[in-house]
Amino acid sequence: MKQIAVLGLGRFGESLAMALMAMGNQVLGIDIDEDKVSAVEEELTHVAIADMTDANSLRSLGLSNLDVAVVCTGDIQTSIMATVLLKDLGVQKVVSKAKNVLHEKILCKVGADQVVFPERDMGVRLAHGIADTNVIEFIELSSVYSLAEVFILPEWKGKTLMDADIRVNYGLNVVAIRRQGDIIVSPRASEVMQEGDVMVVIGKNADISNLDRHRKK
């Protein structure tokens, strides 16, 4: 369980705060808009009406004692100021939401430990979900590499991972296999793939997309 502050309770911030609560974390929701705070005060561990660009307001909330602070505001100037103030207060990890590539670069330069780009990330995931019928879930790790859940190809059924040689033939590293509700982490080379298996793989985006082309051959 972690203690996490979510600064900015718009649609993204509210949904993030709710998800973090559902995962068993303690969440402090912060916004300058009283209505937004009132809407979630019964759902979160703590709430506060505060200006995230005011150092004294943030200091009074004891944010330096938390594990993570997430800046979710959609206002670029506010998010930059809040990120700087949170780092100055000694918050262990600051995650900030970016609206565009330039905003992302600025947030990194002013001290954000992690920058999220929900619109871009969702667009990439949606594109793969629409275009790649073989891909179930897709998480971009960088501009080149991603982690994905993929259906096994028909020709892999009954073969071991060693026989299929997925790393050599497809450029992908298998990190887990999901089978009938169970998950096999770091499967052995002797693991036989079965119908309905879903593989968790890491590889280049192009190689993950290529699986769909192999399926259609």
Question: Order of strands across the sheet with 68-71?
Answer: 46-49, 26-31, 3-7, 68-71, 93-97, 114-116
Question: Order of strands across the sheet with 182-185?
Answer: 135-140, 145-151, 198-204, 172-179, 182-185
> What is the model's pLDDT at position 211?
81
The full set of domains in the chain, from first to last, is: 3-116 (3.40.50.720), 121-216 (3.30.70.1450)
pLDDT at 92 over 70: yes
**For range 66-83, the mean pLDDT:** 96
Question: φ, ψ for residue 148 (rounded to 5)?
Answer: -145, 150
Q: pTM of the predicted model, to two decimals?
A: 0.64
The SS3 of residue 135 is strand
Do residues 95 and 114 touch, judged by C-beta distance below 8 A? yes
C-alpha–C-alpha distance, residues 44 and 54, integer Å: 22
C-alpha–C-alpha distance, residues 207 and 204, integer Å: 5
> What is the model's pLDDT at position 136?
63
DSSP character for 195?
T
Q: How does pLDDT run across 124-156, given as a tens digit for each residue?
A: 555 655 555 566 676 777 778 888 888 999 999
Smallest CA-to-CA distance from 176 within 130, 119, 136, 216 is with 136
What is the average pLDDT score of the chain?
89
Q: Higher model confidence: residue 128 or residue 201?
A: 201
Burial of 149: CB neighbours in 10 Å, binned 0-12, 13-18, 19+: middle
Give me 93's structure tokens.
């990890």
- Other CB atoms within a 10 A radius of the CB of residue 64 amount to 14
Q: Which residue has the tokens 């430990």?
A: 113
> What is the model's pLDDT at position 31?
98
C-alpha–C-alpha distance, residues 115 and 209, integer Å: 25
**For range 173-182, the mean pLDDT:** 90
The SS3 of residue 170 is helix
